[in-house]
Chain A
C-alpha cells in the first residue's frame, strides 16, 4: 500500500483499512531495503514493534496515532541512543526526552529511527558525520548526491518514503537547504516557537527545531504539535500556537510579497532564477501583489553567522570533556591530557575548526573586533527584515544556490561550503520563520526549492502561501 501523507494515513487508520502493526512492518521493510543510503544512525526493529503495541492502546483522538516519524539524531530520546553525529557522543543514552520528541510521543507517533546529520549540525551536506555520508535518495546509481545538511538524514528519510515526517533543526539553513536538495517540505519556525530542551546545542541564539514532510498540510499538522512554551528553555516563547492546519487558506488576495534584489547573486544558475521567476508569476496570478524590496545588509549575513555560530559553539561544546558521558580517550596520564586527547580524538575536523574560530573570536583582545561587531551587524540584518515586513506580508527567494551536488565533489574550501547557506542564513540571524517547498526541477530532473519568509510568529501566513504554491505541482 502506498502512503502519501499523514492525512491519508490517518484516514486509512480511521476506516480500519490498516493497523498500526502493519504500518510498523511496512516501514521496517522499507528502511531495510534502503540501508545503503545510510540515512539512519540508529534503527532497531524491536523498538518499533514495541512502540506499535503501546500505540495501539492509545485513544483514537491522538493527532499522530501510528504516524511514522524519523528523528534527527540531535534530539535526546530515552528509547534510542543520541550521538549528534559525533564520536564523542557514541553510545550516549540520554536520561531524558527532548521537549519536541516528547510532544510527538504524547500524540502517538511512532519513531522509526534516529537520522544521520553533520557532526553537531555543522555542515551543509551530511558529510561531516562520524557515521559516514548519507546518500540523497534521488541520486542515480553512478552519481551519488549529497542530501544537503545538516539535517540531511531527516530530509532523505522523508524523500525515500521511510517515514511520513521528520524532525530537524535549523541553525543557518539546516532544515530548508536539505529540504530543497531532497525535494520535500521543510519549515524552520520562529526562534523560540519550539523548545530547545533536549536538543544538543550548537549555537543557542540561532538553533531552532522544525519539521520535514511530504506536503504543506502535513508540515502544518506536525509543527502545531511540536510548538509550545516550555519553562526549561529560557528563550521559549509563551505565545498561543495557532491551529495551523485548521486555518490553512490558500487565498493570497491582497497579500504583498517582497522580492529582495540582494538575493540575485552572481553564479546562481538560470534554472534557479527561472524557478523563482515562475513562483513570482504564480503568486501574482493567485492575487498577491509583488513588491521589489531591498535588504541592504544581506551580503554581510554569512560572515556575521560564521562569527556568531562558532563563538556560541565553542562555548556549548566545552561540556564534552570525557568526564560525564560519551567518549573518553584511553591513554591519558593527567586530567588536562584527558581533556585534550578526548576532544582531539572525539571531534571531527569541521567541529574542531569551528571551536577554534569561536575560541579565537571570543578571546581577550579580539572579542570587540569580531564577536561584538558581528552582533551589531546582526542587529542591522534583523532591522532590514523588520522594515521590509512593515509593508510586506511575505518574502520569496530561492532556498539554495544549487540543486543537490555530487557527494564526492571536493569541498576543501570551507568558505565555498559555507556559501550553501547564502539564502537561508539571513532569516536565521533575524529569528524569522521560513519554509522551503519543492518548486520545479533542473535539467537533470533534480528538485529545486523556493523559500517563503515572514515576520516573527507568522507561520500561518507562510503555510498559507506555501499551500497555494504547492498546488501548482499537484
Chain B
C-alpha cells in the first residue's frame, strides 16, 4: 500500500478534482494496484541511461516568434460559460 486516504485527497486537491468518499475509496484501491504494478520498473538498471523526453529523430525546426492575429475576442468568448464586457467571468475571488 503506497497511498492512503489522506494522500489521495491531497493529490485530488492538487489536481482540483473533488472526490466523494466512495470515489476516494475506489480510487485508492485502483491506484495502489497500478502503483504496485509499475514498481517492476525498479528491476531495470538505468544508472547510465539518459531520460527520454522527445522521441523525434528529426531536427525540429524553429520558427520566428511573431504575433499572429488568428481569432477575434468575440469568437473565443462564444465558448465561455460566463462572460462580462469582453472578459471571461468567474465567481468572486476577493471578498
Contact (Cβ within 8 A) B31 A353: yes
Contacting chain B: which of A65-73, A104-112, A356-364?
Answer: A356-364
A170 CB to closest chain B CB (Å) equals 13
Chain B, residues 1-42, CB within 8 Å of chain A (1/0): the string is 001000110011011111100010001001101110111111
Contact (Cβ within 8 A) B56 A414: no
Residues of B within 8 A of A323 (CB): 80-81, 88, 90
Known: A92-B79, A328-B81, A340-B18. A376 touches B51 (CB 8 A): yes
Known: A300-B40, A335-B93, A380-B49. A347 touches B56 (CB 8 A): no
Contact (Cβ within 8 A) A306 B55: no
Residue of A nearest to B39 (CB): A303
Residue of A nearest to B74 (CB): A95
Tell which of A299, A307, A340, A373 touches B17, judged by Cβ atoms closer than 8 Å. A340
Ordered by A's residue number, 15 sampled pairs between the chains whose C-beta atoms are within 8 Å are: A191-B55, A231-B63, A238-B61, A325-B79, A326-B81, A327-B81, A328-B82, A338-B90, A344-B18, A360-B7, A360-B11, A375-B52, A378-B55, A380-B44, A414-B30
Asked whether any CB of chain B lies closer than 8 Å to the CB of A192, the reply is yes
Contact (Cβ within 8 A) B50 A339: no
Name A171-204 residues within 8 Å CB distance of B.
Answer: 191-192
Contact (Cβ within 8 A) A370 B63: no
Interface residues on B, range: 35 or more
Known: A355-B17, A359-B15, A377-B44. A234 touches B60 (CB 8 A): yes
Chain A, residues 326-352, CB within 8 Å of chain B (1/0): the string is 111000111111111101100100001
Name A425-469 residues within 8 Å CB distance of B.
Answer: 429-431, 456-457
Dominant SS at the A interface? helix
A396 CB to closest chain B CB (Å) equals 22
Residues of A within 8 A of B63 (CB): 231
Residues of A within 8 A of B37 (CB): 303, 306, 415
- Given contact pairs A352-B19, A376-B44, enumerate 6 new A-B contacts (beta carbons under 8 Å): A236-B60, A323-B90, A324-B79, A347-B17, A356-B11, A373-B46
A245 CB to closest chain B CB (Å) equals 22
Residues of A within 8 A of B75 (CB): 95
A294 CB to closest chain B CB (Å) equals 15
Q: Interface size (A, Cβ < 8 Å)? A: 72
Asked whether any CB of chain B lies closer than 8 Å to the CB of A297, the reply is yes
What number of A-B contacts does a CB cutoff of 8 Å give?
A: 176
B12 CB to closest chain A CB (Å) equals 6
Asked whether any CB of chain B lies closer than 8 Å to the CB of A382, the reply is yes
Contact (Cβ within 8 A) B34 A237: no
Q: How far is the CA of A311 from the CA of B2 in the complex (A)?
A: 18
Tell which of B50, B79, B91 touches A338, judged by Cβ atoms closer than 8 Å. B91
Q: How far is the CA of A306 from the CA of B37 in the complex (A)?
A: 10
Known: A337-B91, A415-B37. A235 touches B27 (CB 8 A): no
Q: How far is the CA of A230 from the CA of B5 in the complex (A)?
A: 45
Contact (Cβ within 8 A) B11 A191: no
Q: How far is the CA of A339 from the CA of B41 in the complex (A)?
A: 34
Q: How far is the CA of A376 from the CA of B3 in the complex (A)?
A: 24
List the 10 closest pairs (A to B, CB-CB), nearest first. A431-B55, A237-B58, A375-B51, A325-B79, A328-B81, A376-B46, A379-B52, A303-B38, A340-B18, A344-B18
Asked whether any CB of chain A lies closer than 8 Å to the CB of B70, the reply is yes
Name B52-74 residues within 8 Å CB distance of A.
Answer: 52-61, 63, 70-71
A128 CB to closest chain B CB (Å) equals 14
Q: How far is the CA of A431 from the CA of B46 in the complex (A)?
A: 20
Asked whether any CB of chain A lies closer than 8 Å to the CB of B76, the reply is yes
Contact (Cβ within 8 A) A376 B54: no
Residues of B within 8 A of A326 (CB): 79, 81
Known: A323-B90, A357-B34, A374-B41. A238 touches B58 (CB 8 A): yes
Question: Of residues A95, A314, A335, A363, which shows the largest number of chain B Cβ atoms within 10 Å of its Cβ?
Answer: A95
Asked whether any CB of chain B lies closer than 8 Å to the CB of A268, the reply is no
Tell which of B15, B23, B44, B71 touches A95, judged by Cβ atoms closer than 8 Å. B71
A169 CB to closest chain B CB (Å) equals 16
Tell which of A238, A307, A352, A456 touches B57, judged by Cβ atoms closer than 8 Å. A456
